[in-house]
Structure 1
Amino acid sequence: MDNTSEQKTENQEKKKIVRGPRLNQKLKIMYLMKILLEETDEDHDLTLNEIVEKLKAYNVTAERKSLYSDIENLRTFGLDIIGMQYGKTYHYKVASRQFQLVELKLLVDAVQSSRFITEKKSDELIAKLESYASKYEAKKLARQVNVNGRVKTMNERIYYSVDKIHEALNEESQIKFQYFTWTADKKMELKHGGAYYSVSPWALCWDDEKYYLVGYDNREYKIKHFRVDKMADVSVVYEEREGKEEFSKMQMSEYTNRLFGMFDGNLETVTLLCENHAANVIIDRFGTDIPLMKTDAEHFTVRVRVSVSKLFLSWIMAIPGVKIVAPERTVDMMKSEIKRLQEMYL
């Protein structure tokens, strides 16, 4: 390398060294906002001298007079900065934020306890939620919800699947995907030999801590639902959705209410004879609009429209003081199920 080239390289390096602090200085107000958001909250504040010292860590110099102006500009921008005088010293803090701490705690709890979200994604989402709090409040978010034995989904692709389903819903288009199940040796096995399902998506719903796609099966010509975490290789097919007439006849809330664990069965109007204490469970499941008809001082009857599956029968078995009394075919199904269970444990 000749002297001219060497001198040119040296000058470029010097420019880089000078440019760093200068660029930081131009970003002074941004670093000031960062410091206030991270270091202050309702219970923690900073003096101007403390702010000056913290800015130095970002290679930013600041005079008290310029900080007054910057703080006022941040207030105009929308940051809720409060200045308080203790003796001769002013203290500054961010008093309110986009999310209250109690709201962040609820969101963290929901993410942490959700089976739908993988462990890895839970950690990522909680870290992002912590960024909406000060460093002191973030410590309060790093807590463990009591979810002993909670099984998290293992399908990391589920977020991309949901994104594709939403895209199809917005575009009113069809989707195709593969569907899998778990084998006894804990391996994923594609159903139907890996053949693709062709479905017109109409809704996403949440039931029993799982995410479901509700759509119209283009081959079987009927409404079906699929576990989103068991869908693979989801893609949008830009063809007009089918099943519009079928979905116009139904309400999604009624559809999910009548299914137990999203298990299909014959749709029936079932009459239940219940002891009064069971009203709480019945109302929790079917809502306050359902009529409870008093039978005597200790009992009431209720008629529910449900898909009669083995899971529904198990749900009835688990509620003390609740008995199916009609229709007769559903009563017979319950008797057969009880007999089957008895034979299993004899």
Structure 2
Amino acid sequence: MNAMKVDNRAQIRLFALLNYLYCDSDEKHPVSVLDILKHWRSNGINASRKSVYNDIALLMKLGIDIVCIKSTQNLYFIGSRVFELPELKLLVDAVESSRFITPKKSRVLIQKLGRLASSAQAAQLKRPIYMDGTPKPENEAIYYIVDSLQTAIQESKQISFQYYEYLPSKEKVLKHRGYRYQFSPYALIWNRDFYYVVGWSEKHNKIAQFRIDRMTGIKLLDLPTRQTQDFDPTVYVQKVFGMYPGDLQTVTLLCRNHLMRSIIDWFGEDVQTKVADTDHFLATVEVAPSPPFFGWVFTFAGDIRIVSPENVLEEMREMARWLQ
């Protein structure tokens, strides 16, 4: 029995030391043997300096990365962590700025991320990210909806759900008086800071997409997913989202040099380009001639022009006449 008590006390002491090092030490804030003894005493643990050395040696033997700064009194801190501080800052920035995550959930997630750092490092994570004015969502159930959708995709099961819409008064109501959609989810797609689920809709009898933050009452059905042979998430995103609805065509654009960044933003670094003259370059892209694409070209006020093919250029002219 006495041996058991000793073992329990040693385990508690070891855990208290590990917790202290993780929470209160880092490269800029190492702790001394005296700091560790003081922490132990504040938790009702009486031990000697020898216990500090023995316990640190044991933790290091167990694989904990404890760095020792040798001096008149040795200093210790946790070296590598699951996430380094710069990585945590990136994750916090992503959570804070995401339009998909509600303000309440953002605070909770950032607090949890802070627990992966020392207390001093966690304080550096509490800084505001200034967004462009687009509000965050209020649907707290969205995380459970995403989890249900991922489960349905992994298990190849259908789901049913209801969908929200908005009245001119901005009142949120269920679409089609609470109609329950029967749906075979294929993939989750993140586009322009919104989350969508894509799959086969029994109501529409075709592949369709729904905004996840507007879904509610989701239920997993004991029915196998209705499969389609020609579904490719990459192709679907290109054709349906952004400026690509319809059949793709090869289009050549004449662009002013300062717009190379905009071309790469839309078409990726693999986009085919070549120098046209000292002020312009040509970009050859795959798009579908459509109002979203023409509208994108219009936003550059002539700094991007369609060169070929002629039928696409004529459609652009027709749209310009319609706008007049």
Same fold (TM over 0.5): yes
Alpha-carbon contact 1:313-1:334 (below 8 Å) kept: no
What is the identity, as a one-letter code, of the residue corresponding to 1:107?
L
Q: Which residue of 1 aligns with 2:33?
A: 48
Equivalent residues in 2 for 1:260-299, closer than 5 Å: 260-261=241-242, 265-269=245-249, 271-277=251-257, 278-292=259-273, 298=280
Alpha-carbon contact 2:256-2:304 (below 8 Å) kept: no
Compute the TM-score of the two structures, normalised by the length of structure 1: 0.81
User: How many equivalent pairs are there?
Assistant: 314
More divergent stretch after superposition (279-288 vs 35-44):
279-288
Deviation by residue 1:175-221 (Cα, 9 ceiling, x = unmatched) = 11111123333321222221111111111111101111111113323
Taking a change above 3 Å as real, the CA distance of residues 148 and 300 of structure 1, as seen in their structure-2 partners, is closer
Q: Which residue of 1 aligns with 2:52?
A: 67
Q: Which residue of 1 aligns with 2:109?
A: 125
Q: 1:305 aligns with which of 269, 287, 298?
A: 287
Q: 1:322 aligns with which of 304, 307, 323?
A: 304
Q: 1:97 aligns with which of 73, 81, 103?
A: 81
The alpha-carbon deviation at position 225 of structure 1 amounts to 1.3
- Note if 1:36 corresponds to 2:21: yes
Deviation by residue 1:35-62 (Cα, 9 ceiling, x = unmatched) = 1111110111111121111122222222
Q: Which runs of 5+ in 1 are unaligned?
A: 1-21
Distance, in Å, in 2 between the alignment partners of 1:165 and 1:112 is 24
The alpha-carbon deviation at position 68 of structure 1 amounts to 1.7
Q: Secondary structure at the match of 1:283?
A: helix
Q: Which residue of 2 aligns with 1:5?
A: none
What is the identity, as a one-letter code, of the residue corresponding to 1:68?
Y
Deviation by residue 1:243-302 (Cα, 9 ceiling, x = unmatched) = 33132xx3x2232233444x8843342624322424432232122334347767745252
Deviation by residue 1:59-78 (Cα, 9 ceiling, x = unmatched) = 22222222222111211222
Taking a change above 3 Å as real, the CA distance of residues 334 and 113 of structure 1, as seen in their structure-2 partners, is farther
- Note if 1:160 corresponds to 2:141: no
Q: Secondary structure at the match of 1:288?
A: coil
Alpha-carbon contact 2:239-2:245 (below 8 Å) kept: no
Q: Which residue of 2 aligns with 1:335?
A: 318
Q: Which residue of 1 aligns with 2:4?
A: none
More divergent stretch after superposition (175-184 vs 277-286):
277-286
**Pair member with larger Rg:** 1
Q: Which residue of 1 aligns with 2:187?
A: 203
Distance, in Å, in 1 between the alignment partners of 2:287 and 2:51 is 69
Q: 1:138 aligns with which of 118, 122, 125?
A: 122
Q: Secondary structure at the match of 2:262?
A: helix
Q: What do you get for the CA RMSD once the two structures are aligned?
A: 2.6
Distance, in Å, in 2 between the alignment partners of 1:327 and 1:223 is 32
What is the identity, as a one-letter code, of the residue corresponding to 2:140?
E
Q: Which residue of 2 aligns with 1:3?
A: none
Taking a change above 3 Å as real, the CA distance of residues 43 and 193 of structure 1, as seen in their structure-2 partners, is same
Compute the TM-score of the two structures, normalised by the length of structure 2: 0.87
Q: Which residue of 2 aligns with 1:9?
A: none
The alpha-carbon deviation at position 81 of structure 1 amounts to 0.9
Distance, in Å, in 2 between the alignment partners of 1:190 and 1:36 is 52
Distance, in Å, in 1 between the alignment partners of 2:313 and 2:147 is 40
Q: Secondary structure at the match of 1:36?
A: helix
Deviation by residue 1:292-319 (Cα, 9 ceiling, x = unmatched) = 47767745252423473x4333222213
Q: Which residue of 2 aligns with 1:17?
A: none
Q: Secondary structure at the match of 1:179?
A: strand
The alpha-carbon deviation at position 228 of structure 1 amounts to 0.8
Distance, in Å, in 2 between the alignment partners of 1:266 and 1:334 is 19
Alpha-carbon contact 1:211-1:228 (below 8 Å) kept: yes
Q: Secondary structure at the match of 2:16?
A: helix
* Percent of residue pairs identical: 33
Equivalent residues in 2 for 1:228-239, closer than 5 Å: 228-239=212-223
Distance, in Å, in 1 between the alignment partners of 2:49 and 2:43 is 17
Distance, in Å, in 2 between the alignment partners of 1:90 and 1:268 is 67
Distance, in Å, in 1 between the alignment partners of 2:186 and 2:175 is 22
